[in-house]
Amino acid sequence: MMNILSFLLGIISLVIVIPATIPLLGWANWFALPLIVIGVVLGQISSSNSGRNFCLVVLAIAALRLTLGGGII
């Protein structure tokens, strides 16, 4: 159950992160980061690792975009 919730939070976060790769929309990643962290925690609680790993990949994409944009842009 926790793995499914982790996947759902990862998909919702990915829907936010993908448009945030467009220039001047990088600030949207800050809205996705709390959802991603909650997804990682729920994935850690579950017996399966796939939801957690998916959220970690989305986290890496969001963090890379924030790093390249200087945190805001």
What are the tens digits of pLDDT across the range 8-17? 999 999 999 9
What are the tens digits of pLDDT across the range 29-46? 899 999 999 999 999 998
pLDDT of amino acid 21: 86
pLDDT of amino acid 73: 62
pLDDT at 24 over 90: no
Mean of the pLDDT values across residues 35-62? 93
* pTM for the predicted model, two decimal places: 0.88
Task: Give the closest residue to 32 by CA, choosing from 15, 54, 53.
Answer: 15
User: 3-state DSSP: the chain helix, strand, coil percent, rounded to 5?
Assistant: 80, 0, 20
